[in-house]
Amino acid sequence: MLKKNSKIYIAGHKGLVGSSILRNLLNKNYKNIITRTKSQLNLTNQKKVFDFFNKEKPEFVIIAAAKVGGILFNKNNKAEFINENLLIQTNIIHCSYLVGVKKLIFLGSSCVYPRNCKQPIKEDYLLSGKLEETNDAYAIAKIAGIKMCESYNYQYKTNFISLMPTNTFGPNDNYDENNSHFLPALIKKIHKLKFNKKNKLLIWGNGLAKRELIYVDDLANACIYFLKKKVHHTLINIGTGKDFTIKYYAKLICKIICPDKKITFVYDKSKPNGTPRKVLNIAVAKNYGWKSKFDLYSSLKLTYKNFLKIDR
């Protein structure tokens, strides 16, 4: 059972999701949190990870560490994505088993589901069809993590569960226009338009692909909720159950960042759209008593406020 003094290790505490989990745990008065930066612990090195686990012996583990990026970055760096993610999650999951971790949460991604999946996407649809080719290497690594958790639970009676979040955004995101996900890229592009005479916004693809978003603090709350909750499922979707087009999100961000400026959208159809539609069925999470709390507009305003504070 998770207690306020339980030893909790967050892998990837500097990233978008990991930093939110850390903030939320501290705000809830959890006092025994273990973290390591990349320079302190190379998660792709099996021996170093084993030595760390053997020394610290955490009781609870959340894997928020991963190599992540947007469509083009995924497509152009497949080898790095599959290799690094497999190494990170394999080392942590196996070492968690070796030292007797009470509960582990592995964070995946909605891209593990087939490209042309029936919508909304149920957990049962995993491995039922072909993946989106622009991020299949990353998806396969994450699928391997899901199956590893399931396999260890089956063979070793561990308590490892996988949470599959939809597209996540919020403070501490990556705003690189080429390597980031679509939402932070849009925020940065639209912010630039606010301060120059140009009024044309370049959007990759045709703008009609539909995406579901979740504010990062919602996801962090889900991680803590399911760390405490006894569950019978090893795979649980985490989302809002609502999706909109890329064009809709662009309009909403324009309204927040530069409401007095008329911006024309230009579509670069030479760039990939990615999966046509991706919205999760979140019935399992709801049946366990969890649901998202943050509304989209307010969350985007908070995200932009944080964007203005960081070094761009």
Q: Which residues are catalytic?
A: 138
Cα–Cα distance for residue pair 89/63, rounded to 1 Å: 7
Which string of DSSP letters, residue by residue, matches 140-168? Answer: HHHHHHHHHHHHHHHHH---EEEEEE-EE
Report in angstroms the alpha-carbon separations of 22 from 1, 144, 290.
Answer: 19, 26, 19
Task: Give the distance, in angstroms, between the CA of residue 224 and the centroid of all CA atoms in the same chain.
Answer: 15
Dihedral sign for Cα 10, 14, 18, 23, please.
positive
Cα–Cα distance for residue pair 97/103, rounded to 1 Å: 10
CB 110 within 8 A of CB 280: yes
Task: Give the distance, in angstroms, between the CA of residue 279 and the centroid of all CA atoms in the same chain.
Answer: 14
